[in-house]
Copies of this chain bind each other. A is one copy, B any other.
Amino acid sequence: MRVLGIDPGLTRCGLGVVDGVPGRPPTLVAVGVARTPPDLDTARRLVRLEAEIEIWISTHRPDAVAVERVFAQHNVQTVMGTAQAAGVAMLVAARHGYPVALHTPSEVKAAITGSGRAGKDQVGSMVTRILRLDAPPKPADAADALALAICHVWRGGAQNRLQDAIDRQRQVDRTTQGVRAR
């Protein structure tokens, strides 16, 4: 199973791809960061980000895309940009028909380090160990994207398979209703 993890952001958007199966150490495929210039207006930054994510998706053809779930926090201005970057990531993945999963930061930390309250450094060093890298990926956004992808592999994409089953059932129900209505 190949997963593209996306740690959304306008200034730095972490992107990480791993191959793996639940319960075993996955392998690194690619890791990087997409940046958009802070002096561009938000709309044009979103266009640049869309183009970058398109390249990652078409290059690596993942089985699923995992995006960090964004919460409103202290820095309201930043969080809006992050939410919009996450929206663009979800949009691009869904447009290509890929399953999209959202994981919260604490779900990711818990999956990787065993604690939902682990710090950035701890996540970085566990990612380094799990993927047998020489050094932690820099910047932290790149390591976070890999952590997301690993978390999703280890959870076996279960969240999606369940959601897909629900969606398929709904589709069947609707078709049946449509037939009945005629």
From known contacts A72-B72, A83-B80, A84-B83, infer whether A91 and B41 are also in contact, taking CB-CB under 8 Å: no
Give the contact stretch, choosing among A16-24, A43-51, A115-123.
A43-51
A88 in contact (CB, < 8 A) = yes
User: Which residues of B sit under 8 angstroms from A43, Cβ to Cβ?
Assistant: 90-91, 93-94, 100
The reply on A86 being an interface residue by CB < 8 A is yes
Please indicate the chain B residues that have their CB under 8 angstroms from the CB of A167 in the complex.
Answer: 40-41
A window 118-153: CB within 8 A of B: none
Cβ of A85 under 8 Å from chain B: yes
Instruction: Compute how far the CA of A15 lies from the CA of B172 in the bound complex, rounded to whole angstroms.
Output: 32
Contact-residue size bin, chain A (C-beta under 8 Å from the other chain): 20 to 34
Contact of A76 (CB < 8 Å), options: B71, B91, B95: B71
Q: Does A113 contact B (CB under 8 A)?
A: no
Decide if A170 is an interface residue (CB 8 Å cutoff). yes
Q: Are A91 and B47 in contact (CB under 8 A)?
A: yes
For residues 65 through 94 of chain A, which have their beta carbon under 8 Å from a beta carbon of chain B? 70-72, 76, 79-80, 83-88, 90-91, 93-94
Q: How far is the CA of A83 from the CA of B39 in the complex (A)?
A: 20
- Interface status of A11 (Cβ within 8 A of chain B): no
A residues adjacent to B (C-beta < 8 A): 39-44, 46-47, 50, 70-72, 76, 79-80, 83-88, 90-91, 93-95, 100, 102, 163, 167, 170
Q: Which 5 A-B pairs have the closest CB atoms?
A: A84-B87, A43-B94, A43-B90, A43-B100, A83-B83
